[in-house]
Amino acid sequence: MKRNRSVSTFRCIAVACLAVASGTAVAQAANYPSRPITIVVPFSAGGGVDAMARVLAEKLRTTLGQSVVIENKGGGSGMIGAQAVVKAQPDGYTLLMGSAGETAINPYVFKTRMQYAPQTDLMPISLVVKVPNVVVVNPSLPYKTIDELVAYAKANPGKVRYGTSGVGNPQHLSGELMARQAGVQLTHVPYRGASNQLLDVIGGNIEMTFVSLAGARQFIKDGKVRAIGITSQGKSVLAPDIPAISDSSSLKGYSLENWFGLFAPKGTPAPVIARLNGAVVEALKDPGLSTRLRELGGNPTPMSPDQFAAFIKQDAMKFAKIVEDAKITPDN
């Protein structure tokens, strides 16, 4: 009898604790935010993630009624900044503007070198933008379409060199997916930053590069490079005049986009996540913000936390297969 009473007492205490915790979470949401919010960008200032995070932060300041500060924590292919957020207090005041790399690709490239597990240590808030890459080549080269590029690559195995901004990022995976889907041999040349990639295409040191639309737009406009395809599924509203790689006869269905989204540390109360999601969705409905994000090469794509989680899981499976098939490691 005493044992049954003890068990009953324990259950009552546990229920009471859960009720208090639930009440605390609701109270936190009701008062949230009551102080400035920090969005960690896991890359240096001036890049695509940073630029879009700052544009979003400006709008969130109005939507949430609090200051939103951007903090750049670059290094480790985005993992240093992401890990800092994982270790932060799960109270909604330290968030991550993450890209596909450190949240969906790196676990398969860096494996045991990673000190966090994105799909369990980070809570998705909302996808912010999808960011397709564009394939550009030197205008003097003999191929003007993706199909012509593929034909040339088949006739000249390994002679088509493509530049990216690093090993294991979406640009690199875009090239590996193209090579495997088309059955050609391409040579990967990693760089530090888009400007060097583009300059080497212009100078003839490499044949092509995968790069963000924002990074390539002026070079395309000036005729210094030729855009022959975009990596989105079908033509992109961001560049309707550039054909989709997926529409070529040799790469039907091809699709691989980078994306940026907002995350919180594991354990952040659900009401706070819901508040943040609502604020992001509302911000992305603003025509001025949407226009600015498109100018920066991103297509606004808000999602619910559950939708974003499902999206990440699906994309991660796709990335994992490319990394495995291409045997991508941090050293290649």
Instruction: Give the pLDDT confidence score for residue 66 in this predicted structure.
Output: 96
pLDDT at 327 over 70: yes
pLDDT at 62 over 80: yes
Instruction: Give the pLDDT confidence score for residue 22 in this predicted structure.
Output: 52
pLDDT at 16 over 80: no
Confidence band, pLDDT 50/70/90 cuts, at residue 12 = low
Beta bridge partners of 137: 208, 226
The predicted model gives 174-203 an average pLDDT of 93
Query: What phi and psi values does residue 285 have, to the nearest 5 degrees?
Result: -80, -15
In order, the DSSP letters of 253-315 are T----EEEEEEEETT--HHHHHHHHHHHHHHHT-HHHHHHHHHTT-EE----HHHHHHHHHHH
Beta bridge partners of 299: 130
Dist CA 94 CA 123 (whole Å) = 12
Confidence band, pLDDT 50/70/90 cuts, at residue 173 = very high
pLDDT at 18 over 90: no
The predicted model gives 219-236 an average pLDDT of 94
- Asked if residues 214 and 48 have their Cβ atoms less than 8 Å apart, the reply is yes
- Asked if residues 92 and 264 have their Cβ atoms less than 8 Å apart, the reply is yes
Domains and CATH numbers, the chain: 35-131+258-326 (3.40.190.150), 133-247 (3.40.190.10)
Confidence band, pLDDT 50/70/90 cuts, at residue 331 = confident
User: Taking all residues of the chain, what is their mean pLDDT, rounded to a whole number?
Assistant: 91
pLDDT at 2 over 70: no
pLDDT at 38 over 70: yes
